[in-house]
Amino acid sequence: IICLRALYTLLDSTIPRNMLMADKTLAIELCNVLHRLLLTRESLEAQQLVMEVLKQVLKAAQENFDALKKKTLREMVPANQESLAVEEVDLLGEGESSGDIEPGKSLVFAMLEVCLCHLVRQLPALNPAPLVSAGVRPITHKPEQSGQLIATGLNVMEQLPKLCSPQGAVSILPTLLYLTTGVIKECAVKNVNDTSVLASTPQIAAALHCLRVLATDKFCKDPRSGQQWKTLLQSALAKIIDLAKTGCEETKLDEVTILLAVTVFLLHAPAEVVQAPNLQYPCINHMTQCIQSNNLQVKLNCLQTFRRILTHSGCNISTGYIHALAPRVMQYLHSDAARKVNSETELALTIESINIVDALVQLTEPQNRIQMLSMLVPVLVEFLLEGTSFQEANKVRKSLHEQSLQWLMKIGPQYPQEFKAIMTQSLQLRTRVESAIRNNQQRIRIEATQKPTVSTTATVSVPTIKLKTDFRNFAT
């Protein structure tokens, strides 16, 4: 423990990190030592310190690589033309043009080996060769401690492609994706009757972040590695979709975790990754199941994901999801559950559904917009409270009324012609909207008059101690 702390402190300074990277074999040997410590030390503190030291090694390697690229760029081209040689400089990373990552000679391989060992100690099922390492015993820490350790390993792993050339990064990508999806598989399992959401745990959050980093890596769009990278991302997405289908009578994978993992690919991976029919349709089916779930948190997360797809994705990606999910959103808005809200979660479901329809209105061509508004406006009017029903309603129902009224007052100026046409076609809608506006203004006036008024006149304070002599008659 003392030695690990000393190493961490030493490598927390720039000069020692530079000295470490002056001879790469020294850094590789240090990783080998860390690997052995992971195998032989089971205390939580030792495991944490090993990974903290590995972070320092990663930092030293990244600083050294960045300095090497800058130096090479200055030697190759003038300062104002550096962009012309960036692709050549990428080949300075591990793997070079061949993509070979050699054990014993590669620092990236040595660090990846430490990460693999670290994760396997927490999750033995991730071991790709269990028979070879049958003597390695899993460590039993508290769930929150184990989750944080797993998250640390993933945080290191996601940075390793930055030390590689395009082909070198492709060489390690299968291992990175295998371990990341493996963490999701092992850590997102829960009882079939469990309604909790596991996506917020440290290890799942770190796995989702790792997927996002890999899906947005610059080598994904690099001509030298892009096609292979996208193919591997498709394999990872296919595995995640497959995880959603697998399970047994007693356990299942957390629906929200799978939903968020799919969302990472939909929002951040290149469009070609998610447009393949054998991947797109299963993704849509999973979201359809989530939006029909009896678990309100699952349904809410699905609606939030759908809205993000509408606002971030291109038309080619979102069209299939609109066709499958939009009718179900409208169906929900017309249900009693959307109108008779009794909790903040139920209110959030209704508001999110309105947000989705509002997003669809904005995506619609101007000449067809009145059709979408003809579906949205009556729903909002239906959510308005009339007469004494406002005073009798609970807090969340009043909130739904107020937000619906605000939406209507926003739609009117935003789409004046369409809104006027809808109001003209239905006298009942117009009457309810006007009545709601009048009642709202009346409530505002009543609340304003009920507020205590602050007197602007100064009050004369009566002294608490009375003096026998009256000093007011004395001149100054």
- For 280-320, the pLDDT digits (tens) are 999 999 999 999 999 999 999 999 999 999 988 665 788 89
Under 8 Å between Cβ of 319 and 279: no
Residue 466 resides in a domain:
no
54 and 181 share a domain? yes
Task: Note the pLDDT of residue 266.
Answer: 92
187 and 284 share a domain? no
How many C-beta atoms lie closer than 10 Å to residue 29's C-beta?
A: 12
Residue 377 resides in a domain:
yes
321 and 400 share a domain? no
336 and 381 share a domain? no
Residue 66 resides in a domain:
yes
333 and 369 share a domain? no
Q: Which domain holds residue 2?
A: 1-75+89-128+140-270
Task: Note the pLDDT of residue 457.
Answer: 45
Task: Note the pLDDT of residue 120.
Answer: 94
339 and 439 share a domain? no
Among 363, 382, 401, residue at a domain's last position: 363
Task: Note the pLDDT of residue 474.
Answer: 41
Residue 457 resides in a domain:
no
151 and 232 share a domain? yes
What's the structural domain count of the chain? 3
228 and 263 share a domain? yes
Q: What is the mean pLDDT of the chain?
A: 87
Residue 19 resides in a domain:
yes
263 and 287 share a domain? no
Among 317, 332, 363, residue at a domain's last position: 363
Among 363, 387, 414, residue at a domain's last position: 363
User: Whose CA is closest to 295, among 397, 382, 199, 212?
Assistant: 199
Residue 464 resides in a domain:
no
* Residues of the chain scoring pLDDT < 50: 131-135, 454-460, 467-476
Residue 452 resides in a domain:
no
At 130, phi and psi to the nearest 5? -65, -30
385 and 356 share a domain? no
Task: Note the pLDDT of residue 469.
Answer: 45
Query: H or E segment at 435?
Result: helix 427-450
At 131, phi and psi to the nearest 5? -70, -35
266 and 410 share a domain? no
376 and 439 share a domain? yes
Residue 37 resides in a domain:
yes
Task: Note the pLDDT of residue 247.
Answer: 67
